[in-house]
Each structure stands twice: as structure tokens, then as C-alpha cells.
Amino acid sequence: MTKSQDKFVTLAHGNGGRYMRELIDDVFKRHLANPHLNTNVDATLIDPGDGDILFTTDGFTVKPLEFPGGTIGSLAIHGTVNDLSVAGATAKFLSLNAFIEEGMAFEQLERIVADMAQAARQCQVEIVTGDTKVVPLKEGSGIYFATSGIGIKPRDIQLGMEKIKTGDKILISGSIGDHGTAVMLAREQFGLSGDLQSDAASVHPLTQAIRDLPGLRFMRDPTRGGLATVCAEICRNTQQGTYLFEAQIPIKEQVTAVCEMLGYDPYYLACEGRVLAVVAEQDTDEALHCWHQLNEGQDAAIIGEIIADDRRVILETELGGQRLLEELEDDPLPRIC
């Protein structure tokens, strides 16, 4: 423990001096140690290896900081690993920024950083550079993270929304809305509770399993804004429509129940461990087969297709009607990721 058994982070832990060094050494460096992490240098030498170099970043503000299925620490690893994975890459090196609120308990900080370290090991990524700031009480909220990631993509994998064609199929790797619902329940602000786990996880096994299929057009992890928002982005960028079949979309009973009680729409709820893939029809069965072989892809399903005669997100309901999924506007569910 830093600063002679301090139990809480103080502003002195952010001033650049001895306490800050102890915080970094005793908490961050101890858990996150790897051959490339040297907290005495300004910039770290990396060798990404052969292939295209991809670069991405993500910020993390989830509340509560610990929730069933993860913490903000593992989420900060998975979120950035996933952005690289859906682009067809393998994540290699991460940077880490922590914005810690004065008064945060070291015990909780330790749990979060340990969870982060475990996630990094599982994903085989190294945190090679970092920075810590301590902000005064009420000018933060526990801890916020930002992670940037560098990954390598085989040069012959070329994915993108611009590759999407009419008739392509839309696949989802598992049930939607688990993360958003689990976080809401963990807040206990609605008098609800439950044992639903967040789906937060690395999607790399899922993306790696299908990324070499020639018919794979595009992948994305539906985080903030959920499935409906990814589909809206596809429509806006491709000038085509997405037609979804409600009956095919995997949603857990608990998620449906919570959404009905609170008036939320599961199609807009965040996932943190799912992949939406757009695949040419001839490779759809193979993609689904690949996913079904994985633990992470047991519930994978073909949920819709790309259409030409409408440029909106249309949901065919279980009763056979049609519902438009409009772009998300006033549905603020802050600090979900």
C-alpha cells in the first residue's frame, strides 16, 4: 500500500513526486508488469511485426465501477481490444490513462487494476505506456480510464462498411443488451436486482474465427447505442437498408423483462462482448458454423439482411408487422461503458 498504509487516494498521489511513483509502482506496475513496460521512460519502443498497423482508442466511465461480469478495468482492456478485433486485427500493445478521483479507496483500485491485468493476460496484450492523474473530489467519479491500442492486421483482410452489398446477411454472435441491463441492475436505482452477467469480454476469438472468410464484409461490436445504432450507421454510410427479424434476435428473458418494466428498448442497449457481422450470402452458413464452434458464439444467429429498396432500419416483429428503429436521440443512459 502506498504512502504509509494510506487507505484512500489523495491529491499528493498525483503530484509527480514520491507518492505518485509509489502509486504507479505499487498498484499499476505491480499488476501490469510486462517486458515492455518501463515507467522510467517517456515513450516505449514497440515492434508491431508484419502486417498493417491499426490504431484505436476508447474511454471508459462505467458506473458502478464493478458489475456482474466485469469491472471498469477489464472493460478498458476488452473495449480497445474489441475495436481492433472487429477491424480484422490482433491487438498487441495498449496505452493506459487513469483519471482517479481523490478519495478513491486503494482496496477498490487494486481490485480493478488486478481485473484489468487478468484481462490483458487473457487477451495477450501488453500495457506498454501509461499516465495517472488524480482529480479533486467531485471533479471525477471513482476512476475513468482511456486505453489506446495498436494491432496488426494481415494485409489481405480488407473489411469496411463500403464493402457491404444488397443481399448480404447480418449475423450477431450472441444475445444483445446483457451489458446494459447488468449495469443498470447493478446500480440498484430502480429497486431491481438480478443475477444477469454482463457479456463484457474479448471478441477476438469470434472475429478471428471468421476474418479469413472471403465473403466477410464488415464487423462491429454494438456498444453504446446497441444493435439499432450499428444498423443505423450501416444505412447512413451505405445508402442501403437493414431488415431485421425480431424472432431471430437472441435476447435473454431477463433482459426482455427488465426492458418491459423500465420502458427500455433492448435494440439500443450496449453489448460489450458481441460482434455484428455482415457476410455475403454464400459464406453465411460457414460464418455461423465457425461461431457455433466457440463458447462465445453458442447463441450466434442470422438476424437480418441488407436491402436496397429502403434506407432505414426495419424490424419485422414476431407478429409479422414492421417497426422502424430510429436513430437514438433522447435516451441518455450515462456511464454505461
Residues in 84-103 that interact with a copy of itself by CB under 8 A:
84, 86-87, 89, 93, 95-99, 102
Q: Does 332 bind a copy of itself (CB under 8 A)?
A: yes
- Smaller CB separation from a copy of itself, 136 or 167: 136
Q: Does 50 bind a copy of itself (CB under 8 A)?
A: no
Give residue 296's identity as a one-letter amino acid code: E
Cβ proximity to a copy of itself: between 15 and 298 the closer is 15
Q: Provide the minimum distance between the beta carbon of 38 and a copy of itself in the complex, in angstroms, as a whole number.
A: 9
Nearest alpha carbon to residue 24 among 124, 108, 133: 133
- Closest approach, Cβ 310 to a copy of itself, in A, equals 19
Burial of 327 (0-12, 13-18, 19+ CB in 10 A): middle
Min separation Cβ 319 and a copy of itself, Å: 27
Cβ–Cβ < 8 Å for 266, 177: yes
Cα–Cα dist 162/184, whole Å? 35
Dist. CA 275–CA 285, nearest whole Å: 16
Quote the CA–CA distance of 144 and 142 in Å, as a whole number: 7
Q: How far is the CB of 147 from a copy of itself (least distance, A)?
A: 9
Contact of 262 with 184, CB cutoff 8 Å? yes
- Considering the complex, what minimum distance in angstroms separates the CB of residue 170 from a copy of itself? 17
Closest Cα partner for 87 from 47, 50, 52, 48? Answer: 52
Tell me if 127 sits within 8 A of 96, measured CB to CB: yes
220 binds a copy of itself (CB under 8 A): yes
Using the minimum distance from each CB to a copy of itself, give the nearer residue, 16 or 320.
Answer: 16
Distance CA 151, CA 217 (A): 19
Binding mask 156-195 for a copy of itself (x = CB under 8 A): ----xx----------------------------------
Q: Which of residues 224-263 bind a copy of itself (CB under 8 A)?
A: 224-226, 229, 233, 237
Q: Which of 2, 29, 58, 211 binds a copy of itself (CB under 8 A)?
A: 58
The residues, any chain, with a CB within 8 Å of residue 39's CB and separated by 6 or more, are 24, 25, 28, 29, 130
Which CB atom, from 163 or from 292, has the smaller least distance to a copy of itself? 163
Q: Which of 48, 103, 154, 205 is close enough to bind a copy of itself by CB under 8 A? A: 48
Of 6, 26, 52, 110, which lies in the binding site for a copy of itself, with binding defined by CB under 8 A?
52
Least Cβ distance, residue 75 to a copy of itself (angstroms):
12
- Give residues 260-319 in contact with a copy of itself (rule: CB under 8 A): 268, 270
Binding to a copy of itself by residue 12, rule CB under 8 A?
yes
C-alpha–C-alpha distance, residues 127 and 132, integer Å: 13
Name which of 38 and 293 has its Cβ closer to a copy of itself: 38
Nearer to a copy of itself, 281 or 327 (CB): 327
Q: Is residue 20 at the binding interface for a copy of itself, with CB under 8 A as the rule?
A: yes
Contact of 173 with 277, CB cutoff 8 Å? yes
CA angle 302, 316, 225 (to 5 degrees): 70
Q: Which of residues 105-164 bind a copy of itself (CB under 8 A)?
A: 128-136, 138-141, 144, 146, 148-151, 153, 160-161
From the list 35-43, 182-190, 245-253, 283-291, the region that binds a copy of itself by CB under 8 A is: 35-43
The CA-based diameter of the chain, rounded to the nearest angstrom, is 68
**Cell for 37?**
513496460
Whether 249 and 317 have beta carbons less than 8 Å apart is answered as no
DSSP annotation of 174 = S
Does 73 contact a copy of itself by CB under 8 A?
no
